[in-house]
Amino acid sequence: MEVLDQITNPYLPFWEYVPDGEPYLFDGRLYVYGSHDLFGGDVYCMGDYVCWSADPDDLGSWRYEGVIYRKSDDPENEDLQGNLYAPDVTVGPDGRYYLYYVLSNRDFVSVAVSDTPAGKYEFYGYVHYEDGARLGQREGDEPQFDPGVLTEGVETYLYTGFCPLDDKSRHGAMCTVLSSDMLTIKRDPVFVVPAKHNSTGTGFEDHAYFEAASIRKKDGLYYFIYSSEASRELCYATSIRPDGDFTYRGVLIDNGDIGIDTYKKAGMPGMYCANNHGSIICIDGRWYIFYHRHTNGTNYSRQGCFEKLEADGPVNFRQAALTSCAGVPFTARGFYPAYLACNLFTDTEGLMIPWCGWMDDRFPKITREVYNDDEPAGYIANMRDTARAGFKYFDCKDTKVVSVKIKGYATGKLEIRTEWDKEPLGSFPVEYSNVWRIVTGSVNIPDGINSIWITFSGEGYLQFAGFEIA
Which residue among the candidates 16, 20, 229, 415 is catalytic per the annotation? 20
- Delineate the domains of the chain, giving CATH numbers in brackets: 3-317 (2.115.10.20), 333-469 (2.60.120.260)
Region 402-428 average pLDDT: 98
Region 294-299 average pLDDT: 94
Question: Of 255, 451, 269, which is closest to residue 346 (Cα–Cα)?
Answer: 269
Higher pLDDT, 254 or 360: 254
How would you classify the pairing of strands 388-396 and 343-345?
Answer: antiparallel
- Is residue 77 helix, strand or coil? helix
Counts of helices then strands in the chain (DSSP H, E): 0, 31
How would you classify the pairing of strands 185-194 and 49-54?
Answer: unpaired
Q: Judge whether 57 counts as a catalytic residue.
A: no
Which residue among the candidates 22, 65, 74, 211 is catalytic per the annotation? 211
DSSP collapsed to 3 states, 291-302: EEEECCCCCCCE
- Quickly list H helices, 286-365: none
Q: In the structure, what pLDDT confidence band is assigned to residue 370 with cuts at 50, 70 and 90?
A: confident
Dist. CA 416–CA 252, nearest whole Å: 30
Contact 337, 389 (CB under 8 A): no
Report the chain's mean pLDDT, rounded to a whole number: 96
In this predicted model, what pLDDT tens digit does every residue of 97-116 receive, in sequence order?
999 999 999 999 999 999 99
Which sign does the torsion angle of CA 223, 226, 228, 230 carry?
positive
Q: Judge whether 122 counts as a catalytic residue.
A: no
Angle at 166 between CA 83 and CA 267, to 5 degrees: 90
CA-to-CA dists, residue 390 to 196, 224, 393, 438, angstroms:
34, 31, 9, 20
**For residue 219, which phi and psi values (nearest 5 degrees)?**
50, 45
Region 406-419 average pLDDT: 98
Q: In the structure, what pLDDT confidence band is assigned to residue 7 with cuts at 50, 70 and 90?
A: very high
0.75 exceeded by pTM: yes
